[in-house]
Amino acid sequence: MSNIQKAFSNGKAFIAFLTCGDPDLETTAAAVRAAVNGGADLIELGIPFSDPTAEGPVIQGANLRALRGGVTTDKIFAFVKELRKDVSVPLVFMTYANVVFSYGTERFAAACREIGIDGLILPDVPYEEKGDFLPACQQYGIELISLIAPTSENRIAKIAKDAEGFLYIVSSLGVTGMRSEIQTDLSAIVAAVRQNTTIPCAIGFGISTPAQAKKMAGLADGVIVGSAIVKLLEKHGKEAPPYIADYVRSMKDAIR
């Protein structure tokens, strides 16, 4: 069982997303620890990118604030290395192909292993093009996490059979952001996944309330929340970590 899959071994997993460097890396570190203390089983760390195509306005704003603050990929690597001294939950980078390409794919994967990153999510890389990144990830033991969207349909079986770590099920068409309701037939998608892999699946995009989290956890093995947490950072800035701990606790309680 991989480190990422262990996050799903104690019941339903709560996965928290944070943008590195929003508003600064010190606050990101405090926010990660707060999320873990609140019960987060896995943390997705966003490496900011100037044109994040999968992100809605909340996370786009976080990307811009972080980039304006001078965050770089190397600074994020140093930050994670420091974080790993006391944070043991699985850590996954979420970023875009351009960030990895420009850094050098093999160099990026090697650095991930060195600092203790367990996986990588690249939302702008379709399944058919993951061969540009998979060999380097496999060489350095980094699990390349696949996404399944409502439009994946006849590709679900193929994506699921090749999946590593966990499968990220995108709840809705469009970009990240809080939604009042999720109307996709996710039970059919999860059923198709279950027929083709034993790897856990988690639902993300649009989940922000304990009631939504409970409903999604009834379908999948875990839930992913980003915009609602980033919104707390946008509102409270450096004072956000205690609010994040309370919020994560309420979400984790809902999915137990």
Of 81-85, 126-130, 170-174, 189-193, where does mean pLDDT reach its minimum? 170-174
> Residue 67's pLDDT is what?
93
pLDDT at site 68:
95
The whole-number pLDDT of residue 140 equals 98
Q: Which residues contact 194 (CB under 8 A, 6 or more apart)?
A: none
- Average pLDDT value for residue range 179-201: 82
Say yes or no to pLDDT of 5 above 60.
Answer: yes
Q: Is the pLDDT of residue 179 over 80?
A: no
Q: What φ, ψ does residue 79 adopt, rounded to 5°?
A: -65, -45
Structure tokens at 219: 């379908």
What does the pLDDT read at residue 55?
Answer: 66
**pLDDT at res. 51:** 76
Name the least confident of 2-16, 68-82, 127-141, 166-180: 166-180
Question: Measured between alpha carbons, how far is residue 8 from residues 60, 169, 187, 251 in Å?
Answer: 29, 15, 19, 16
pLDDT reading at 19 higher than 70: yes
> What are the structure tokens assigned to 248, written together?
């994560």
Is the peptide bond between 23 and the residue preceding it cis, with omega within 30 degrees of 0?
yes
For residue 189, what are its two tokens?
């998608």
pLDDT, residue 177, reads: 43
The length of the chain, given as a count of residues: 256
Is the predicted pLDDT of residue 1 greater than 60, yes or no? yes
The residue written with tokens 């979400």 in the block is 251
Q: In this predicted structure, which of 61-70, 119-128, 148-157, 193-202 has the lowest mean pLDDT?
A: 148-157
> Residue 50: is its pLDDT beyond 90?
no
Rounded-to-10 torsion of CA 62, 68, 72, 76: -40
Domains of the chain from N-terminus onward: 3-250 (3.20.20.70)
| pLDDT at residue 173, rounded to an integer | 57
